[in-house]
Amino acid sequence: MKTALEMVLITGMSGSGKSVALHALEDAGYYCVDNLPPELLAHFAALEERRAGKVAIAMDVRSAASLPLVPKQLQQLRAQGVVLQTIFLDANTETLVRRFSETRRLHPLSRTDTSDQHRALVDAIELERELLGEMRDQAHVLDTSMIRSSQLQGYVKSLISAPATQLTLVFESFAFKRGVPLDADYVFDVRMLPNPHYESGLRDLTGQDEAVAGYLRAHAEVGDMFKDIEKFISHWLPALARDHRSYVTVAIGCTGGQHRSVYLVEALAQAFGGQWKTLKRHRELDAMPRA
């Protein structure tokens, strides 16, 4: 029996980390092509199907004129049996401006005939968001604003390990003080729950530690929050699956992203793991240096 071609399409905002994502896919055994013109996508897939391998393609706004072709092409590839995953890398405007300023690179859509280069860069970023809007809507979004390159590589590798033909549930903890993740489909604020940070013996621990988990389990309101989130997700997941969603990201936020949100992400991932493919991300913990 012929093995289906596995294809990952990486797209997203300029400066959001597409090169880092491609390197992760290359490490995972994918044949990678950067900036493939959309006009060549179908031909490239037909060529690679003969080898039935694993390929990854990066497309971005440098192909702006032909980007409208891509959504229909992706539908056709899926109809032909290609196992296709699309990942859109995003970041907030402030982060993108900083990255371009640090590297002194020109944005692909930047105008050079203006005296206000900062304004020109911001305008270019907003135009890019508009041009890529349809592709973003059809992809799994990864927010790279607050994560390191190694985190992004790990997240990409975990995504491609999930079956592309079924819905994957992603639980993500975060700190509100560092911003709400752009990739969240649903956001739950748990800052009103008892905070282990104010217990001296728990302050330096995380929601992955049993001492913190035990502290939180002992408070009824934490259990109520867990049940409410679990009920909401359980009610809507079948409808999301019927709508052919590949990924649903549920973000849980507390003040520091260390205790309450981490605990609830761990508990929810365990609760749903028996029925759904689940992934866990801890944005703030994953950014901490490893001991």
Residues flagged as binding site for ATP: 12-19
d(CA 163, CA 83): 9
The answer to whether 162 and 241 have CB atoms below 8 angstroms apart is no
Q: Residues forming the annotated binding site for GTP? A: 60-63
Residue 56, classed as helix, strand or coil, is strand
d(CA 110, CA 3): 43
The answer to whether 77 and 6 have CB atoms below 8 angstroms apart is no
d(CA 6, CA 31): 10
Kindly calculate the radius of gyration of the chain based on its CA atoms and give it in whole angstroms. Answer: 21
Residues in the chain: 291
Closest Cα to residue 191, out of 206, 204, 208, 174?
174
Element (H, E) at 96: helix 93-103
Q: Residues forming the annotated binding site? A: 12-19, 60-63
The Cβ of residue 188 has, within 10 Å, a number of other Cβ atoms equal to 18
